[in-house]
Every structure is written in structure tokens, then in C-alpha cells.
Amino acid sequence: MNEVIKQKLEDIFRLVFELPSDAKVGDIQQIDFDKWDSLSHVSLMSAIENEFGLEVDIAESISLTSFESIELYLSRKVV
Amino acid sequence: MKFLEAHAAIKEFSGGPPLKFLLACSAVTDTLDVFVKAHAASKGLDAQVDTLPFDTLGQFLRAEPPSDEREVFVLFPWNLVRETDWRTGLPAQSSSGESVHQAMAESLRLLSLRRSAGFVYIAAPIPPLLGTEARCSELSDQLLAAARGLGATVLSPANFSLSSYFQTGNAFASHALSDIAEAVVIAAIGQQLAPKKVLVTDFDNTLWAGVVGEDGVDNLAYSAEGAGFPFFVYQSLLRKLKNEGTLLVGVSRNDRDLALAPFDLDEMLLKESDFVTILASYHSKSAQIAQVAEMLNLNLDSFVFVDDNPVELEEVRRALPEVECMQFSADGTMLPSILMSLTQRFGKGAHTEEDAKRTDMYRLRAASIVPSEVSGADLRTFLQSLQMKLTIKERSFGDHTRCLQLINKTNQFNINGDRLAEQELQTILSAGGRLIGATLEETGGSHGEVVACLISVDGTIEAFVMSCRVFQRRLEYAFTAWLASQSDAPTQFRYGPTARNEPVRLFLEQIVGTPAGGLIRFDAKNLATSLAPDLQLFDVAAELGDT
């Protein structure tokens, strides 16, 4: 994946979940991360749509539940 | 402004006077928060915003208004007529026009009681509430007129997301959050109440289709036909605003005679005499605008700057935050809202004889403006957000049509202005020379092949050109840094000053000091180090070898 895009995704995760600027985020999954609830998921999707100029449809959004899955999604969607 | 940039702006903000207000909206506003804070910070203000719980705007309006709190209402059609809310579904039968108008009248009555409020209206589409398409369209128009009657800043339907509104109650389109937040902050400050005075416009691809320095004055389009139509309409609006008292200023990155050449043909709707002044140089647009403001003795917050180039807009935004910046687009879906936004900022209900003469009065004051050499804003963080991808291509073999075209067409960023015939090129390449091209892509799309560099076997850069469409991106510095990092780096530039290549002189002045014509040493080690930060702005790929 383009390193610039990955770095941006990492920064977005840290900002949305209010984590330190050097926090490791690559292993974060919604299932075992308390801060990732339905409200923060909305904020996360909005931030990703805004930053990368995308529109994530509802079906796609439901499956984007980890850093890894979002990274994979962006590698397909972002030129 | 995007999400990460908004957070960066807040982080860099060292504090300022508070901007306290209640953001009154029936939709969820959480995603707007960071952009509101960032836009307020860009104006030196610390936004302190209260909000309403979801879908309580109706109750709020019926309560006693707070006596001393500034309010900003972000309204949708359903805040004027409840039945137009998508989330309530359609009624069992078509609504009667009378009930709809009664509802609208009551909503307007309540809103007009909020005397210290600012309003932003998002003209979202409405469900087919009434019996026919024509009646629904008429209702949309009436809602829009009602919002304008409140003095609302109107934002286009593109700012609304139905899918998001359904899913989460957040009605704002993600890509529009910055624009909506900016409108909210302006409404909170109250600037929307004061009309603007000076419209500063770019020329290439804003006043006319085309780039006069590359396409030539005879290949521009600005007439009421074909590709020129949007520009003809834009010029007609500027002429109207000028006749009603708006001062027009032209700013162009060009040699002055090139910038004025289209006016000399006397075929355009706008004439040079319609402008208070036209500034054309290779210095930053922010510096030129600041000079105009000083010379005309007008505050920068009365200026609006219009340009098609997001890099130029960002430079002015950063250097002169008081100036409102607006991106021009000839796209048919965007042009109407751009022209309406300009009318909102400059339009007057009535104008006087003095308004019509205002330009002539100010032309005298502006006559002595000399282009400023003050440097512009640091654009690095913005340029990083463009995600620029530079692809270096070996053109010594195979198709080099575009490279040769660039060398023979480019005037401004051209190291010596020398033209090259195919045979001459083949002679240099056969002797061991190299021809290198480079393409540029960024988030807005691809610019295609924009750089050509011909190096002879002894390491002399015989030709180095760059399209003026990609100025301001530090691309010439990055490409030079890439050349310097190669094992077979060039050894010297062949520089020749021409009547048109001032951008090259400025570039060489920055990297090697004041250049004299002739051979200039290419210090690869030094350049690789000093220009490394510019190379880091780009994701670089090299497609070298036989093509």
C-alpha cells in the first residue's frame, strides 16, 4: 500500500480514537477495542471519506471493522 | 481543507479571542466539529460551540430565545416544512399546498424572531410530497427563496448526503464538511452581513479556457460558444458586478504582455478598462493582493479571490486568511453555485451612479503599483496533502513526441528557449545523450507528461522544460533533486535568459545563486542534499530502460 496513504490512515485512527501520536494502530479491531463503538465508527468512516475523497456505502462500512480491513479497502479504492 | 489538515490547523493554533455560539441544527453535527474549530482558528478565533440534541430544533425554536448567545442555524428544507423530512417517509396522501405553506409561514415566523442569528441553508432535495413533479419543484424553489429571505448562506444539494442521513442522522456529505463549517463560522462572525468590495480573479482557465503562455492567445476560448461558454458567462457576471460598484483586479502568473494579450485582441466581453488594475508577474499572488489592498486603502476582508488552481488558492488562504478564496470551475454542475456565491458576496439590491464610476476612481490610485517581491506562504503541508506522484520516464528510446513538443512549445520554464528539431535530437541521443520525461498525478487527477530534460553525453542539460500548469508545486526542484541523486548525474546546465523564462531565472537563483547566461555547474552532491525536502513531497517512481 502507498506509504503516504497508510500513514494518513494511522493518523486518522489516532485522532478518532484519541490515541497518542506514536500509538501502534495496525492491530486494532472493533471486536476487542472498547473505544470503537457505533458512534466512533461513524466518525471514523466520515474522516476516511473526507480525507480520501470516497463515499463508503453502507454494506462496505459494515465490513470495515479493523485497521487491516480498512487498509485493504483503501488499497483498492484510492489511486 | 481535509480531516487531517483541520486537526493540524487546530494543533498549530496558539489561541485567540473566543467565538461562542450555539450551532442549531436538527441533524447530527459531530463530524462538523473539527472543521468548525479549524476554520475559526484560521481566522484567529477559538470556537466554543454548543449544540442541540438530535432532532430537537423544532422544540428549541418554540422556546424562549437565549438573550445573549449568538446562534447559527444550519437549516434543511424539513426545518421549514416538517413533512419534507426524508426520515419520516411520505404521507399516505399528497399534502395540500395550503398546509405546506402554512407550515412554512409558521417556521419562518419563529426563525425571524431570532434577531442575533446567522443562517446557513443546505438546499437538499425533498421527497415527492406534492402531487406532481412541477409542484414539488415549485416547493423547492419556495423553500430556497424563504431561506434567502432570512439572509441565509445557501449551500448546494451536493452538501447533503441522503444515505448518511438515513444511516446515522448525519445529513452532511463528508466531502463538504469543510465548506459547511466555513459557512457556519462566517455566519457566526457575521461577515456575511457585509458585502465584499474587491473581486480578484485569475486569468488562465478562469477568465478564459486555456493557458495563454502555452496555448497562445489565438487558441483561448471565451466566446458564447462551445468550450468558451462558461467563461463568457463568468465574464458577463464580472462585468455586471463592476457596473454595480464591485472593483475588479486581475492577478496572473505571467509576463505582463502575455496576460494582457487577450485584451489587446478586443474580442472579450471584459476589457482592460473594466479592471482597477491587472498584476502579472511570477511573484506570489498573496503578495500582489496585499499590495493592491494597501494601495487602494481597502481591508483584505473585503476581498474575494477566484482561481481555478487549488495550489494558488491555498497559498493565498495561508498568507492572507482575511481574504475569502473561491475555486473556479467551468463544470456545468458547479458553475451555477459559484456564480450565485459571488452574487451573494457582491450583489446589491440597488446601485447608484457613483457605483458605476467607482472603477475609474480607483484606477488612478492603482496606476503606480509595482509587483512585490515578498515571498508567499509555505505550502508544504498542503502540497503533501495532494499525494503527488512523479513518474520519471526514459524517453531516449521509443515515443518521445510529447517531450519534444514540450521542449518546442514551453516558454516560461525553459532553461534556454532553444528549439529542437527531430534530427538534432536524434544526433544528441545517438552520441549517448539522454531524454527524460516526467508525468505528474495528484488527488485532483493526472496532469500528464509535464517535464522534459535532454542531457548530452558530456552531462550538459541542453533542455529542461516544465509545463506552467504545474507551477507552485516545487516539481522543478524535486526533479532536479532526482537528477542529482543519480549515479550518472548531469554536470552543468546550459542556461540562456530569454524574454519569457523569468521562472527559470528565479529557480536558478534559488539553487545556484544569481545565474549568468551560459554554462552553470550542476553540483549534484549539494543539490541532492539541499533539495531533498522537495523530493520528499512526491511519491517517485522511475520507469527507466528501453521503452
DSSP string, B456-486: -TTSEEEEEEE-GGGTTSSHHHHHHHHHHTS
What does residue B72 show for φ and ψ, rounded to 5 degrees? -125, 120
Triad B443, B445, B446: Cα angle to 5°: 125
Mean pLDDT along residues B57-67: 81
| Average pLDDT score over residue span B178-202 | 84
Q: What are phi and psi of B195, to 5 degrees?
A: -65, 150
Amino acid at the residue B482: W
Q: Which is more confident, A14 or B310? A: A14
pLDDT value of position B217: 93
B439 close to A (CB below 8 A): no
Q: Which residues of B touch A5 (CB under 8 A)?
A: 387
User: Rounded to an integer, what distance in angstroms lies between the CA atom of residue B268 and that of residue B262?
Assistant: 8
In chain B, what residues touch A3 (CB-CB under 8 Å)? 539
Share of chain B above pLDDT 90, in %: 51
CB-based contact (8 Å) between B175 and chain A? yes
Q: Which residue of A has its CA nearest to B444?
A: A53
| B12-16, B406-410, B413-417, B449-453: least confident range | B12-16
Check residue B468 and give its pLDDT. 86
Closest residue, chain B, to A53 (C-alpha): B175
The Cβ-side half-sphere exposure at A73, using a 13 Å CA radius, reads: 21
Give the pLDDT confidence score for residue B370 in this predicted structure: 58
- pLDDT tens readout for residues B106-128: 888 888 888 778 999 999 999 99
Sheet containing strand B153-155, edge to edge, reads B46-51, B18-25, B71-75, B117-122, B153-155
Chain B, window 383-402: residues with a beta carbon less than 8 angstroms from a chain A beta carbon: 384, 387
pLDDT at B357 over 60: yes
Task: Classify B165 as helix, strand or coil.
Answer: helix
Rounded to an integer, what distance in angstroms lies between the CA atom of residue B42 and that of residue B301?
13
What is the CA B471 to chain-centroid distance, rounded? 14
Q: Does B7 touch chain A (CB under 8 A)?
A: yes
Return the higher-pLDDT residue of B66 and B400.
B400
Structural contact between residues B72 and B224, judged by C-beta atoms closer than 8 angstroms: no
**Which residues of chain A have a Cβ shorter than 8 Å from any chain B Cβ?**
2-5, 8, 11-12, 15, 39, 42-43, 45-47, 49-51, 53, 55, 57-58, 61, 79
Strands B324-327 and B460-466 turn out to be unpaired
Nearest C-alpha neighbor of A38 from the set B169, B36, B35: B169
pLDDT band of residue B336 (cuts 50, 70, 90) is confident
Is B30 in the A-facing interface, judged by CB distances under 8 Å? Answer: yes
Check A55 against B174: CB less than 8 A apart. yes
- Give chain B's count of helices (H) and strands (E): 21, 18
Lowest mean pLDDT among B201-205, B326-330, B450-454: B326-330
Task: Determine which of B3, B4, B35, B175 to mutate to test the interface with A (most A C-beta atoms within 10 Å).
Answer: B3
Q: Given an 8 Å threshold on Cβ–Cβ distance, is B30 in contact with A42?
A: yes
User: Given B3, B167, B174, which is nearest A12 (Cβ)?
Assistant: B3
Residue of chain A nearest B446, judged by CA positions: A79
Chain A residues in contact with B10 (beta carbon < 8 A): none
CA–CA separation, A43 and A58 (whole Å):
14
In this predicted structure, the answer to whether residue B547 has a pLDDT above a threshold of 60 is: no
pLDDT score for B249? 96
Q: Is the pLDDT of residue B297 over 90?
A: no
Tell me which of B8-12, B413-417, B530-534 is least confident: B8-12
- Cβ-defined contact of A15 to B7 (cutoff 8 Å): yes
DSSP string, chain A: --HHHHHHHHHHHHHHTT--TT---TT-BGGG-TT--HHHHHHHHHHHHHHHT----HHHHHH--BHHHHHHHHHHH--
pLDDT digits (tens, 9 = 90+) for B93-106: 777 778 888 888 88
- Tell whether the model's pLDDT for residue B344 goes beyond 80: no
Q: pLDDT at residue A77 above 90?
A: no
Q: Are B466 and B305 in contact (CB under 8 A)?
A: no
What ipTM was reported for this prediction?
Answer: 0.94
B11 to chain A: closest CA residue: A15
Q: Please tell me which of the candidates B4, B161, B168 has its beta carbon nearest to residue A12.
A: B4
Grid coordinates 520507469 are at which residue? B543
Q: What pTM did the predictor assign?
A: 0.60
Ramachandran bin of A57, using left for φ above 0, alpha for ψ from -120 to 50, beta for the remaining angles: beta
The phi, psi pair for B437, rounded to 5°, reads -120, 170
Mutate to test the interface with B, among A50, A57, A58, A62 (most CBs of B within 10 A): A50
User: Could A39 and B167 be called an inter-chain contact, meaning their C-beta atoms sit closer than 8 Å?
Assistant: no
Kindly state whether B170 is in contact with chain A, defined as any CB-CB distance less than 8 angstroms. Answer: yes
Q: Distance from A17 to chain B by nearest Cα, in Å?
A: 13
Question: What tens digit of pLDDT does each residue of B441-474 get?
Answer: 987 678 899 999 999 999 999 999 999 888 889 9
3-class state of residue B74 by DSSP: strand
Letter string b/e over residues B121-150, b meaning 16 or more CB atoms within 10 A of that residue's CB:
bbbbebbebbeeeebbeebbebbbebbeeb
Give the A:B interface size as CB pairs under 8 Å: 51
Residue B239 in contact with residue B270, Cβ under 8 Å? yes
Residues of chain B with pLDDT > 70, as a percent, come to 94
Cβ distance A42 to B170 less than 8 Å, yes or no, reads yes
Contact B163 A57 (CB under 8 A): yes
CB B62 within 8 A of CB B207: no
Grid coordinates 522537495 are at which residue?
A: B534
Neighbouring-strand partners of residue A66: A29
Name the band, by pLDDT with cuts 50, 70 and 90, for residue B192: very low
Beta pairing, strands B460-466 & B445-455: antiparallel
Residue from the list B3, B4, B167 with its beta carbon closest to the beta carbon of A58? B167
Q: Is the pLDDT score of B485 beyond 70?
A: yes
Q: Residue B376: its pLDDT value, please? A: 66
Task: Choose from B129-133, B209-213, B453-457 the range with maximum mean pLDDT.
Answer: B453-457
Query: Residue B359: what pLDDT?
Result: 86
Q: Are B305 and B326 in contact (CB under 8 A)?
A: yes
Q: Please answer yes or no on whether A8 and B539 come within 8 Å at the CB atom.
A: no
- Residue tagged 495550489 (cell numbers): B311
Note whether A12 contacts B170, CB cutoff 8 Å: no
Strand-pair category, B18-25 with B46-51: parallel
Name the pairing type of β-strands B518-521 and B324-327.
unpaired
Instruction: Assess whether pLDDT exceeds 50 at residue B133.
Output: yes
Estimate to the nearest angstrom the gap between the alpha carbon of B26 and the chain centroid. Answer: 31
Instruction: Nearest by CB to A2, from B4, B31, B539: name it.
Output: B539
Tell me what the mean pLDDT of segment B21-36 comes to.
Answer: 93
Is it the case that residue B310 has pLDDT exceeding 70? yes
Amino acid at the residue B402: R
Instruction: Give A43-47's long-range contacts (Cβ < 8 A, gap of 24+).
Output: A43/A16, A43/B30, A43/B31, A44/A12, A44/A13, A44/A16, A45/B174, A46/B31, A46/B164, A46/B170, A46/B174, A46/B177, A47/A12, A47/A15, A47/A16, A47/B3, A47/B31
| CB atoms B175 and A50 under 8 Å | yes
CA-nearest residue to A54 within chain B is B175
Q: Which of A1, A46, A74 is the mutation pick for testing B, counting most B CBs within 10 A?
A: A46
Within 10 angstroms of residue B500's Cβ, the number of other Cβ atoms is 18
Is the CB of residue B2 less than 8 Å away from at least one CB of chain A?
Answer: yes
Residue of A nearest to B161 (CA): A55
